[in-house]
Amino acid sequence: KLTPDMERVIKKHLITDQWSPEQICGQAKLHGFSMVSHERIYELIRKDKADGGTLWKHTPHKLKHRKRSSSGKQVSIKNKISIEFRPAVVDKKERCGDREIDTIMGKDGKGAILTLTERKTGFLLMEKLVSGKQALPLSKVAVRLLYPYKENVHTITSDT
């Protein structure tokens, strides 16, 4: 429960020390003091703002939440078969030519690498995707990488 003493300490650290609610809770715990959760401190700050107060101006992000960007609408693949229903021979890794396809995304969300792994041997084909995960360029790279092995490609499985 938020006590008047806690509220005084919270306001001091927010205004004077420019601490975040998470830092206030962490320091209180570190020094063995009783303190409400950081979520409760954010509630206090929002209530103060609604009442015309200025505590919110002392939070690191001014109570703004960053919206996650999406790189477009998710595409639904028609007649898609779940990975759970792939043929048993593929699951057992008994024959060459069954591949898994995957992409590795860079931390900025722009760069990508296409990987095609042969399930039985672990033989890996990979290439940087200049256009990110765009479907048409990705499929062209996949076809070009697999073309030399075209006689020995039975299945390609994606985990999405």
Q: Is the pLDDT of residue 102 over 90?
A: yes
Instruction: Give me the chain's average pLDDT, please.
Output: 86
Residue 67 domain flag: no
Residue 122 domain flag: yes
Q: Are residues 54 and 94 in the same domain?
A: no
Residue 76 domain flag: no
Percentage of the chain surpassing pLDDT 70? 91
Residue 27 domain flag: yes
pLDDT band at 115 (very low <50, low <70, confident <90, very high): very high
Q: Are residues 98 and 142 in the same domain?
A: yes
Q: Are residues 109 and 44 in the same domain?
A: no
Least reliable range by pLDDT among 7-11, 81-85, 112-116, 117-121: 81-85
Q: Is the pLDDT of residue 103 over 60?
A: yes
Q: Are residues 10 and 48 in the same domain?
A: yes
For residue 148, what are the domain limits? Answer: 83-158
Q: Are residues 96 and 132 in the same domain?
A: yes
Residue 133 domain flag: yes
Q: Are residues 132 and 88 in the same domain?
A: yes
Residue 68 domain flag: no
Residue 70 domain flag: no
Residue 127 domain flag: yes
Kindly list the strands in the beta sheet with 98-105, ordered across the sheet, starting from the edge strand earlier in the chain. 124-129, 112-118, 98-105, 155-158
Predicted pLDDT at 110: 74
Predicted pLDDT at 109: 72
Please state the domain count of the chain. 2
Q: Is the pLDDT of residue 70 over 60?
A: no
Predicted pLDDT at 93: 86
Report how far residue 116's alpha carbon sits from residue 125's, in angstroms, rounded to the nearest whole number. 5
Q: Are residues 54 and 89 in the same domain?
A: no
Most confident of 56-60, 85-89, 92-96, 115-119: 115-119
Q: Is the pLDDT of residue 59 over 90?
A: no
What global pTM score does this model have? 0.50
Q: Are residues 48 and 91 in the same domain?
A: no
Average of per-residue pLDDT across 68-92: 70
